């Protein structure tokens, strides 16, 4: 398929009103994480390095200088505000920059510096005096490819000879022409077409091949959320709160990706303190600033039973990164009390009842 990037956009359904809200794809969750993050996250795990050759010196670097990077690239790294390598960069970069080149599979939490690491390693392998593709970076979707491209452009801001070409939907190369840019960043279908179907570049001259978010790229599609959770309620609630003078943001599946990014950016910047969302947000969003999650409706599956997995994902939005979190569930009768009981049973945890009349206790 030439449209593998589009296959992930499962959210863009055309329904109106209370259409069932589909789950977002792993790629979209990943994009949302990137948008919401503006700085490095300290990894809570130790970095483990596995190598084929147990005798190879396992060393790590504490500074970017030690990597003997091209001075213009180093300038770009500092211009991005990176003072020293993150944990994964300390251990991955020496291997990624080693000669002879080696393959590497790296896995760590999002926000720990992987993208910066592979971009840096890729750029340092580019021979800018040559005008043909030498690096391919594959991303699962159009939007993720653009994000990575922006990081690469920033890092290469002082390397004027390094040029980039996006192989994503909407980008075309005239038949018979050859690509002269050294770095290709794109989605799998388009890159495959350009390389193998149209021969726009010679794949044998590629020195670095990056599969970003490999797990997302190979993830099976069609894994649908059972939860029914609706858009109509979300928009009703946000209108209600807005008329009462609260600054609220609304995020739901009928938004286009760029609209969704705009909403998330405003929320992250604190322009709105309350984010109202359907299940679109239940998975994948890490907003460090989220202090309270309110379940206006408890998540239920199609049979009307408590959807405990979704509940866990939702309340997992608060209390991340070692902080204390608070989740509040709205209960309005025997049906919702029964749901809460199912959730308590499932997790073996008591959910404490707050007195709605006691404002002090609630605060």
Residue 277 near ligand ADP by CB under 6 A: no
Distance (Å, rounded) from C-alpha 199 to C-alpha 177?
9
CB of 42 to ligand ADP, least distance (A): 10
Told to check if 82 binds ligand ADP by CB under 6 A, we report yes
Rounded Cα distance, 294 and 129, in Å: 56
User: Minimum CB separation from ligand ADP for residue 87, in Å?
Assistant: 9
Interface region with ligand ADP, contact rule CB under 6 A, candidates 11-19, 107-115, 262-270, 325-333: 107-115
Write down the least CB distance from residue 63 to ligand ADP, Å: 10
Within 3-62, the residues that bind ligand ADP by CB under 6 A are 37-40
The nearest distance, CB 149 to ligand ADP, in angstroms, is 13
d(CA 91, CA 100): 17
Output phi, psi for 270, to 5 deg: 80, 10
Closer residue to ligand ADP, CB minimum distance, 86 or 124: 86
Can residue 303 be called a binding residue for ligand ADP (CB under 6 A)? no
86 interacts with ligand ADP by CB under 6 A? yes
Q: Is 85 near ligand ADP (CB under 6 A)?
A: yes
Distances (CA, A) of 242 to 26, 235, 248: 31, 10, 6
- ∠ CA 229-234-238, nearest 5°, is 160
Size of the site for ligand ADP (CB under 6 A): 15
Nearer to ligand ADP, 155 or 228 (CB): 155
Q: According to the binding rule CB under 6 A, does residue 111 interact with ligand ADP?
A: yes
Note whether 114 binds ligand ADP by CB under 6 A: yes
Nearest residue (CB) to ligand ADP, 40 versus 312: 40
Among 116, 179, 331, 340, binds ligand ADP (CB under 6 A): 116
Question: Which C-beta is closer to ligand ADP: that of 2 or that of 43?
Answer: 43
Q: Which of 76, 94, 113, 299 binds ligand ADP (CB under 6 A)?
A: 113
Interface contacts to ligand ADP, rule CB under 6 A: 37-40, 82, 85-86, 89, 110-116
């Amino acid at each position: 398929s030439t449209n593998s990037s589009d296959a992930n956009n499962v959210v863009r359904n055309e329904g109106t009103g209370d259409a069932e809200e589909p789950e977002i794809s792993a790629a979209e969750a990943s994009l949302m994480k990137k948008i919401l993050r503006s700085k490095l996250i300290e990894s809570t795990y130790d970095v483990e390095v596995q190598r084929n050759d147990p005798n190879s010196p396992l060393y790590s670097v504490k500074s970017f200088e030690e990597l003997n990077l091209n001075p213009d690239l180093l300038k770009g790294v500092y211009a991005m505000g990176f003072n020293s390598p993150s944990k994964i960069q300390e251990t991955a970069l020496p291997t990624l920059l080693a000669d002879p080149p080696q393959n590497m599979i790296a896995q760590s939490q999002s926000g720990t510096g992987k993208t910066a690491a592979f971009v840096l390693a890729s750029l340092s392998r580019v021979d800018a005096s040559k005008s043909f593709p030498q690096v391919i970076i594959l991303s699962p979707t159009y939007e993720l490819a653009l994000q990575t491209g922006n990081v690469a452009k920033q890092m290469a801001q002082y390397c004027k000879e390094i040029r980039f070409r996006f192989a994503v939907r909407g980008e075309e190369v005239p038949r018979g022409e050859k690509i002269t840019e050294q770095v290709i960043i794109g989605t799998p279908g388009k890159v495959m077409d350009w390389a193998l179907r149209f021969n726009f570049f010679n794949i044998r001259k590629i020195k670095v091949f990056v599969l970003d978010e490999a797990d997302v790229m190979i993830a099976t599609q069609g894994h649908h959320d059972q939860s029914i959770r609706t858009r109509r309620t979300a928009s009703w609630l946000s209108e209600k709160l807005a008329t009462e003078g609260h600054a609220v943001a609304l995020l739901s599946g009928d938004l286009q990706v760029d609209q969704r990014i705009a909403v998330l950016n405003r929320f992250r910047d604190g322009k709105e303190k309350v984010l109202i969302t359907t299940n679109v947000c239940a998975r994948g969003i890490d907003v460090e600033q989220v202090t309270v999650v309110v379940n206006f409706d408890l998540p239920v599956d199609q049979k009307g039973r408590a959807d405990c997995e979704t509940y866990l994902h939702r309340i997992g939005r608060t209390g991340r990164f070692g902080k204390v979190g608070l989740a509040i569930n709205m209960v309005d009768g025997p049906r919702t009390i029964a749901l809460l009981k199912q959730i308590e049973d499932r997790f073996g945890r008591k959910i404490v009842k707050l007195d709605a009349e006691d404002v002090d206790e609630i605060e």
